Structure 1
């Protein structure tokens, strides 16, 4: 399998197995121990697979029916760019906001960098304001 195909497979597993199914162990297989997430709203997540797992757990508790749908993806030998929508129903605490029962659809864009078939770095942009509006926290 060439690097592009391997990176496609890694990203498919990242979203389908890790996020959509909540299989946390998959992150140990596809994320490098030196991995860094450059998400602006959570700047101090730490490194490695252990920095991703608490986010998955927290979001899946807040939105138990969480489903990520890939809208567009471009994969190269060293990077992947993915545009996706996160869908879910707010049924648990989310950053101090009690459950609203509201269904949300949040747009995201992410770039991943790979070394030797593992994700070593990510950059995210998310529609956080849109999410707060959908939860009724902003007008």
Structure 2
């Protein structure tokens, strides 16, 4: 049986590798995932669809864990950086060929030995700015 720490870290190994079988093992069948856009996805198939979208849009996706905190036996918080080159469609945004690097935070709760709940927090505007599809907040351009 994997620990909460190991399960959460395993996500960041499986996602860039597009290891969907491993992700099916990691996530509880009745899991809930909410991404940086605030949209909740229910069930393993929905989680895998999010991974498919991101890894298709960023085929060279890399994830680096910076910190991990375990406030309880069933909860893990990870600060991580995800980076990649936009080479595929991202929810209607055609490939820009631009690199992005975003700092994120993920909170998971483990239930019955699998991830049952996950919430990711990241700056979606910063991501869009790096892809060139949103104005830069610092230069005042729309």
Q: 1:44 offset after TM fit, Å?
A: 4.4
Task: Name the TM-score, length of structure 1 as normaliser.
Answer: 0.88
Superposed CA offset, 1:76-111 (max 9, x none): 301000111110000111121111111100111111
The reply on whether 1:72 has 2:67 as its aligned counterpart is yes
SS of the equivalent of 2:69 reads: strand
Q: Detail structure 1 runs of 4+ shifted over 4 Å in the superposition.
A: none
Cα distance, 1:42 vs structure 2: 5.0
Q: 5+ unaligned residues in a row in structure 2: which ranges?
A: 136-142
Distance 1:72 1:44 in 2: 25
Per the alignment, residue 91 of structure 1 pairs with 87
Partners of 1:58 and 1:38 in 2: how far apart?
A: 14
Distance 2:69 2:109 in 1: 12
Distance 1:15 1:40 in 2: 16
1:87-126 aligned within 5 A? 87-126=83-122
1:137–1:86: structure 2 CA closer, same or farther, 3 Å change rule?
Answer: same
Q: Specify the alignment match of 1:28 in structure 2.
A: 24
Which 10-residue stretch deviates more, 35-44 or 50-59? 35-44
Match of 1:59 among 54, 67, 87: 54
Q: Distance in 2 between matches of 1:6 and 1:99?
A: 38
Change (3 A) 1:116 1:44: closer
Partner-residue secondary structure (3-state), 2:49: helix
Secondary structure of the structure 2 residue equivalent to 1:22: coil
TM-score by length of structure 2 reads 0.87
CA RMSD of aligned residues (A): 1.6
**In structure 1, what is the Cα distance between the partners aligned to 2:28 and 2:97?**
36
